[in-house]
């Protein structure tokens, strides 16, 4: 497959759904809360959805004022003039605001098809990801399977042509995955959806038709999970140990920029990117690195390592249970440069009491994503 999106995935993405292990950088209370959120997901599987690796991300629905259909890139729909009502108006919006015209063209191609699944009586707005807009380029038929991949270094999806899902794909110009919805649009750095929640199925959308294939957040699967009790207990012990050793005070002594850099350091380590103490020293100011490297803070840093690993272990345990339950569609990722593809998807989202969190294996999906770009 060829890619003409110019790395649309790298376009301004705004606030992103957080990984649970990153909550420790907000302090021990937030870390405990996210561990509880993952534990609670076991009893609320309807709030778990597939994290589709599509691009661009869009928001669409019926405008509150006049009921007109509108659609735009998720970062723009809440902006003044962002609730456009036609493909032509969308193109004009991108031109007038000096936005990426490659993205505009993809959205314009999909505009009418997406509108066809949004009946006049539909209320609210939906967030989703385009999976393909150019058959023959970003989706092809190979060895009896439809193969599509929205992001060059992301997930490759394969569907048997003769399968029920394959029959919904055949001849469709547009592929769309939907996953969350809200009652209205807002200008927000967090999410453009007011009252954002996980979509259970289509929630009033009409679904696939002759123009478009629609994938849902659960693909008609009722997910089942077992509580990883031992791992959850281990994570809570690690978090409490971090707090007892003065971890919260340690974090409070760092500037916001330094905490962000420290989080990036851990993110890069788990994603198998080149990073070490020298990298961190080069990114922090001398006074802030001195705090991190101080002998008296070594027990805290070791405790932070333990927390990060323990929360990650809970996440990976849930992922291991969820991945095999996605039926009817193969998902493949390449976990690093020159590595062989493995049967994994991007992961899952959880609509939880601490907000949306994502379960993604950074050592596989993220590692491959970053290796491909390097």
List the structure tokens of 186. Answer: 């807002």
Taking the C-alpha atoms of residue 110 and residue 134, their distance in angstroms, rounded to an integer, is 10
pLDDT digit of tens for each residue in the chain (374 aa)?
554 444 344 343 445 789 999 999 999 999 999 999 999 999 999 999 999 999 999 999 999 999 999 999 999 999 999 999 999 999 999 999 999 999 999 999 999 999 999 999 999 999 999 999 999 999 999 999 999 999 888 899 999 999 999 999 999 999 999 999 999 999 876 789 999 999 978 999 999 999 999 999 999 899 999 999 999 999 999 999 999 999 999 999 999 999 999 999 999 888 777 788 889 999 999 999 999 899 999 999 999 999 999 999 999 999 999 999 998 999 998 877 778 888 888 999 999 999 999 999 988 875 545 444 44
User: Quick one: DSSP state of residue 160?
Assistant: E
Q: Quickly tell me which residue has 């009418």 as its tokens.
A: 112
Nearest residue to 93 via CA among 70, 116, 114? 70
Q: What is the C-alpha separation between 238 and 242, in angstroms, rounded?
A: 6
- The residues with which 69 forms a beta bridge, in sequence order, are 62
CA angle 374, 176, 224 (to 5 degrees): 85
Strand partners, 197: 181
CA gap 271, 19 in Å, rounded: 12
| Alpha carbons 103 and 371: distance in angstroms, whole number | 24
Instruction: Provide the residue count of the chain.
Output: 374
């Amino acid at each position: 497959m060829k890619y003409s999106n110019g790395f649309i995935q790298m376009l301004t993405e705004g606030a992103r759904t957080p990984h649970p292990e990153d909550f420790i950088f907000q302090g021990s209370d937030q870390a405990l809360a996210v561990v509880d959120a993952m534990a609670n997901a076991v009893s609320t599987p309807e709030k778990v959805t597939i994290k589709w690796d599509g691009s661009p991300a869009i928001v669409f629905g019926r405008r509150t004022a006049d009921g007109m259909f509108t659609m735009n890139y998720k970062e723009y729909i809440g902006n003044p003039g962002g609730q456009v009502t036609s493909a032509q108006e969308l193109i004009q919006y991108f031109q007038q605001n000096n936005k990426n015209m490659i993205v505009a063209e993809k959205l314009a191609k999909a505009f009418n098809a997406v509108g066809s699944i949004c009946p006049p009586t539909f209320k609210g707005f939906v967030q989703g990801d385009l999976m393909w807009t150019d058959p023959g380029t970003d989706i092809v038929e190979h060895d009896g399977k439809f193969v599509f991949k929205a992001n060059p270094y992301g997930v490759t999806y394969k569907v048997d042509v003769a399968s029920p899902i394959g029959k919904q794909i055949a001849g469709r110009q547009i592929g769309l995955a939907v996953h969350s919805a809200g009652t209205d649009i807002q200008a927000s750095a967090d999410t453009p959806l007011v009252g954002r929640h996980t979509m259970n199925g289509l929630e009033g959308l009409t679904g696939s038709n002759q123009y478009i294939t629609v994938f849902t957040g659960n693909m008609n699967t009722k997910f089942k999970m077992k509580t990883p009790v031992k791992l959850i207990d281990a994570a809570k012990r690690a978090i409490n140990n971090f707090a007892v050793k003065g971890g919260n005070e340690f974090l409070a002594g760092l500037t916001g920029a330094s905490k962000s850099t420290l989080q990036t350091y851990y993110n890069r380590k788990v994603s198998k990117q080149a990073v070490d103490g020298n990298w961190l020293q080069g990114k922090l100011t001398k006074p802030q690195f001195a705090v991190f490297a101080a002998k008296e803070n070594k027990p805290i840093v070791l405790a932070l390592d333990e927390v990060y690993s323990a929360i990650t272990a809970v996440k990976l345990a849930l992922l291991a249970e969820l991945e095999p339950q996605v039926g009817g569609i193969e998902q493949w990722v390449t976990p690093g440069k020159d590595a062989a593809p493995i049967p994994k998807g991007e992961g899952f989202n959880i609509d939880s009491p601490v907000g949306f969190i994502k379960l993604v294996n950074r050592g596989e999906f993220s590692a491959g994503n970053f290796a491909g770009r390097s």
